[in-house]
Structure 1
Amino acid sequence: MIVESIGLAPQNGLQRGFQALSDPTRLRILGLLESGTRCVCELQSGLPEVAPNLLSHHLRVLREAGLVHAVRRGRWIDYSLNAEALEQLRNAIPRPRAFSTACTCEDL
């Protein structure tokens, strides 16, 4: 079962991950991290309309969901994507199989 492959508690880990992804600002943060590790000041300049305290909140949600890594460097924190956790979420999404145009209701 796919749910068992996530590193956190199966249902809770998936739920927290998808909840974290449900916010447009957090998706934008992940987009900024796509090109590599970024300091929080770089993230702030990439999201000038987001107040610093709100950015910190979104980064905390992403960290607690396990979707980003955070490494302290002096007074700054560098963020990067947790590729493994994001891949586990991708794998939890059902993929369509080959579509059949025949209705099976008549076979019943």
Structure 2
Amino acid sequence: MNPVFKNPLCCTLDARQMAIGFAALSHPARIEILRHLSTSSSCCCSDVVGRLDLAQSTVSQHLKILVEAGLVRYAADGKRSRYAVNGEALTVLAGAVSELVETCCPAGDH
């Protein structure tokens, strides 16, 4: 599956793309994973497992969902996999949310 946010700076998100981003962020563990990843330039799955009270297989599955959505970048590093936040993708998703709020709740309505 191609990440939704593979080239986030050159696209406007449609409803499907926004929903994929929201779904990727819909689990508390994935939000905590993003927070942990944001503390370094990249880290491996075992670094995340050490921070969260979750099994390695569970963390791997959550990372897979974040990577498939394009919110996290993946790179092979020898026998390990390195993960990093895709800040551009999160910025685009945040902008889409802001635009949605402005559209649904015109100034003065919120």
Q: TM-score, normalised by structure 2?
A: 0.76
Trace 1:37-76 onto structure 2 (pairs within 5 A).
37-47=42-52, 49-76=53-80
Moved over 4 A (4+): 95-98
Deviations 1:33-58 (A, max 9, x none): 112211211111111x2111111110
2:93 pairs, out of 81, 89, 92, with 89
Higher relative contact order (CA 8 A, sep 6+): 2
Query: Is 1:99 aligned to residue 108 of structure 2?
Result: yes
1:18 pairs, out of 13, 17, 22, with 22
Q: How far has the Cα of 1:73 moved from its partner?
A: 0.6
2:12 maps to what in 1?
5
Paired with 1:99 and 1:78, the residues of 2 have a C-alpha distance of 45
| Larger-gyration structure (1/2) | 1
Q: How far has the Cα of 1:97 moved from its partner?
A: 5.5
Q: What SS does the aligned partner of 1:43 have?
A: helix
Gaps of 5+ in 2: 1-10
Alpha-carbon distance change, 88 to 41 in structure 1, aligned in 2, over 3 angstroms: same
Q: How far has the Cα of 1:13 moved from its partner?
A: 1.7
Tell me the amino acid that sits aligned with residue 20 of structure 1.
A
Tell me the amino acid that sits aligned with residue 96 of structure 2.
A
Gaps of 5+ in 1: 101-108
Alpha-carbon distance change, 45 to 84 in structure 1, aligned in 2, over 3 angstroms: same
RMSD of aligned Cα (Å): 1.6
